[in-house]
Amino acid sequence: MTTASPTRRLRRPTVPTWYSLAQVTGPRQALWARGTDHTRWAKCGVDWDAVAITPLSLGLDALVGLGLGAGSGYPVLADRVRGILYVLVPAGDGGIAAAVPGVRTLTRGDELLMPCTDHGTPSAHWVSPPRAAVPLLAPAGRLAAQLQDLVADRRRAVTS
């Protein structure tokens, strides 16, 4: 006679969210404190432009609203010192978002501080690192429209 083993509950793998990826965890802080991180200046406007979004939460809300997979490899950086989220978009397209309040674009002639290690630094760490030699870039037009809608919603909420 064989005995049946107790049924184990299988845990489903958790799907990361933009907010969970951007969270500053204890292990990340410990890596930053060790000082083994490196950054470099990267030229914008060649392979990509960067859309700099302040506050960081506005950028995360926009990424959620766009429905871009948080674990899909869209390159997104955070500057925790200044509270800025950087979303990489196709070169030449960053200007589409320039008119949105709280948004600045980095394009040809600008440079962005990029992490050279997985954990980066408090002023330049990957929320979502690129996963391929040719990274997925966020669609600038859709990002700009989503940001514009969020800014308008926030203004309405403040005035009501």
The tens digit of pLDDT for each residue in 7-38 reads 566 666 566 899 999 998 898 888 888 887 78
Reply yes or no: is the peptide bond before residue 55 cis, omega within 30 of 0: yes
Q: Please count the other Cβ atoms lying within 10 Å of the Cβ belonging to residue 17.
A: 14
The tens digit of pLDDT for each residue in 133-156 reads 888 999 999 999 999 999 998 888
Identity of the residue numbered 8: R
Q: Is the pLDDT of residue 5 over 70?
A: no
Identity of the residue numbered 28: R
Which residue has tokens 């979303």? Answer: 87
The tens digit of pLDDT for each residue in 31-78 reads 888 887 789 999 999 999 999 999 999 999 999 999 998 888 999 999
